[in-house]
Structure 1
Amino acid sequence: MLRSETATNPDRLRAALTGLKRYQSHDRTARPTPPPAILQVGRAMLRDYGGEGPPALFVPSLINPPHVLDLAKGNSLLRWLSTQGVRPMLLDWGAPAAGERDMDVGGHVESFLLPMLRDLGEPVSLVGYCIGGTMTIAAAARHPVRSLTLIAAPWHFSGFPKASRDDLTGLWHQVEATAETLGVLPMEALQASFWRLDPARTIRKFEDFGGLPEGDPRIDAFIALEDWANDGPPLTHAAGRQLLVEMFGNDVTGQGRWTVAGAVVDPAALDCPVLDIASLTDRIVPAASACRIGEQMQLDLGHVGMIVGSRARKALWEPLAHWLSQPRKR
């Protein structure tokens, strides 16, 4: 990808390699220590960030670690919300255990998220990010919640560009034999497909990073975000197949054919307040794939920028705090 993007410009090649070398070798700033778990169901843990106010359970994607919501000192959505009349809690999916190869995306809802909601003993607000949002729709259809917030959550997978969908389903066919042998889909395979969604931007960001002056605070911010993006446990074999083949390939959710806990998930039947947040400039989860239910909010920030970018607080954090802190009828 680097060769193809810089084939006609050796200076760009050198700049990108300089940025890559800096990323590989630069000292790391320690991430915030996550709070201890208050609840554990199997390998999944629930971490309580404290705060006075209504409880909100944040559900991250199965892809990449959950700490993008608590990325760095001074750039943590969850720690900020805990000072704004909300009690945020974060679900940490953990890494697939032996014997879980047949647990698909819906199975994670059934085995971990729904038991946690029951064990909490009171209705909470659900907040789902990316594929985590897709999963919270299923959970809210099976368990009473105060409200549901979807952040860049795909539902109509037919809204993705056809080339992207074909690329992801093609990825499954390339790695299926390996996933079958291992019982998991390695994160590295998924990350390569994400790079290909926007190869020009992937190379350009390393060019720009290599040119930052030493001591620039953007260096630590870039490294923290890239370390998150390049990390994460694998997906179970069944979750990888369901995501890439059934969701991206066949749009089972948008076609009304996704079954969780014994019944088809119908977002239109939800009886809780819903806030559906999508971005018109999201290249990872395009706005056309959103569920489009309840109250809708449109942004002009990237998929990750809406969570940790310089404009995130004004554009997403503050409206989200207002939504989550509102009193709700029980």
Structure 2
Amino acid sequence: MKSSPTPAHSALAQRVAAPQHGPRPLPLFLSILWRETEGSPELRRLAFQGLRKYQNAVRPAPPPSPAVFATAGSAKLLRYGTENGRAPVVFIPSLINPPQVLDLSEGRSMLRHMAAAGHDAYLVDWGHPSAKDASLGLNHHVTQRLLPMLGSLPRPPILVGYCLGGSLALGAAAVARVAAVATLAAPWQFDGFPDDDRELIASLWHGAKATSERLGYVPMEVLQSGFWAMDPARTIRKYAAFAEMEPGSQAERAFLAVEDWANGGPPLTFAAGRELFETFYGANVTGRSEWRIDGTKIDLAALRCPTFSVRSATDRIVPANAAPDLSDGFTLQLGHVGMIVGSRAAELVWTPLSLWLSTHGG
């Protein structure tokens, strides 16, 4: 007779199990792998070894979850810091992929670093949209999700937005009272993207729009396929490199954490996807100051709070030319994800950002 699993056994199973047989979508990944390694049997062998290693690897337990401070619809505001009499600092991730990139592990967590530095830090978790959220556009993510949660704070916050979260942070700063706003690798000037990338994204949306409209959401796999298409060779090379990483090494753990994050996450609502692809990428409404939230045109020149932008000259996802033109900030040479969780992120991004936050009341 088989015995029932004990709670301890169940916890261990959750700890060691891979989150999915990824990468997602796996058939597309395999197609890219085969194409990109056609002339290199050794690269193909290593890439397949890296893929199998990724799928079978033991995952460490994630860091403990912080307390929920406020909610709005499916979104939650998670608190990492404590009351200190200064402005709360709210970190806003992209709607694409989960928020965990800002709290990836005990040793690679911008949020825990900021809390340890004395900031009353919070993280927005956008949650999983329901069927009734199909009409929730990017502007509504600001007015119906973000602003109600910000309203629960004891004083006007400083907003820090990463990637598309930076675009939403700037929109919120234009229609609500905030102490300051900072962006990290945020897209704003969409005509700053290479023409080839904008054409690729337009083609991707053309192929996915009808199905997404019927579903009421844009599947995460659609977005992931777009990221892979921007640099397919790198997508395969990193798995080949992973095959040769020392088991249990910090590099191996970092790869697993980042790839699990990149292969996870809820879908976009259909309205948010349409707005992103058609009016942001397609029409550059943000860069032309024509994006509207609750009837207000979002004009960065009209912001009346301190602003700060971190951009990267080597970012393949959001090139430096696409970043917002704000009053303060700097350009570095780290990748889109590397600037948040890479080995030099604390030195080159977390610490200077923390100093800027302290200077502006956070």
Same fold (TM over 0.5): yes
Number of the residue aligned with 1:100: 133
Corresponding residue to 1:14 among 38, 45, 51:
45
> Residue 55 of structure 2 is aligned with which of 21, 24, 31?
24
User: Structure 1 stretch 117-126 or stretch 312-321: which is displaced more?
Assistant: 117-126
Aligned to 1:126, what secondary structure does the other structure show? Answer: strand
Compare 269-278 and 246-255 and name the one that shifted more: 246-255
Matched, 1:308 2:341: yes
Segments of 5+ residues of structure 1 without an aligned counterpart are: none
Q: Which residue pairs with 1:219 in the alignment?
A: 252
SS of 1:174's partner is helix
Match of 2:182 among 143, 149, 163: 149
Which of 76, 87, 91 is equivalent to 2:109?
76
Q: Quick check: which has more Rg, 1 or 2? A: 2
Instruction: Please identify runs of 4+ aligned residues in structure 1 that moved more than 4 A.
Output: none
Which residue of 32, 35, 40 corresponds with 2:66? 35
Displacement of 1:297:
0.9
Q: What is the Cα deviation at residue 296 of structure 1?
A: 2.2
For residues 223 and 361 of structure 2, what CA distance do their matches in structure 1 show? 39
In structure 2, C-alpha distance between the alignment counterparts of 1:113 and 1:75, rounded to whole Å: 25
* TM-score for the superposition, normalised by structure 1: 0.97
Q: Is 1:203–2:236 an aligned residue pair?
A: yes
* 1:143-196 Cα deviation digits (max 9, x unpaired): 111110111111001111111111111111111121111100000110011011
Once residues 60 and 327 of structure 1 are traced to their aligned partners in structure 2, the CA distance between those partners, rounded to angstroms, is 21
Q: CA deviation at 1:248?
A: 1.0
> 1:113 maps to which residue?
146
Matched, 1:280 2:318: no
Q: CA deviation at 1:98?
A: 2.2
Please give the alpha-carbon distance, in whole angstroms, between the structure 2 residues aligned to 1:180 and 1:84.
44
Residue 262 of structure 1 corresponds to 295
CA RMSD of aligned residues (A): 1.3
Deviation by residue 1:24-79 (Cα, 9 ceiling, x = unmatched) = 11111111122121111111110000244531001100000001000001111111
> Secondary structure of the equivalent of 1:119?
coil
8 Å CA contact retained: 1:64, 1:228:
yes
Q: What TM-score do you get using the length of structure 2 for normalisation? A: 0.89
**TM-superposed deviation, 1:121:** 4.0
Q: Aligned equivalents of 1:213 and 1:156: distance in 2?
A: 41
Percent identity over the alignment?
47
SS at match of 2:124: strand
1:126 pairs with 2:190:
no
**Is residue 54–residue 85 contact of structure 1 (8 Å, CA) maintained in 2?**
no
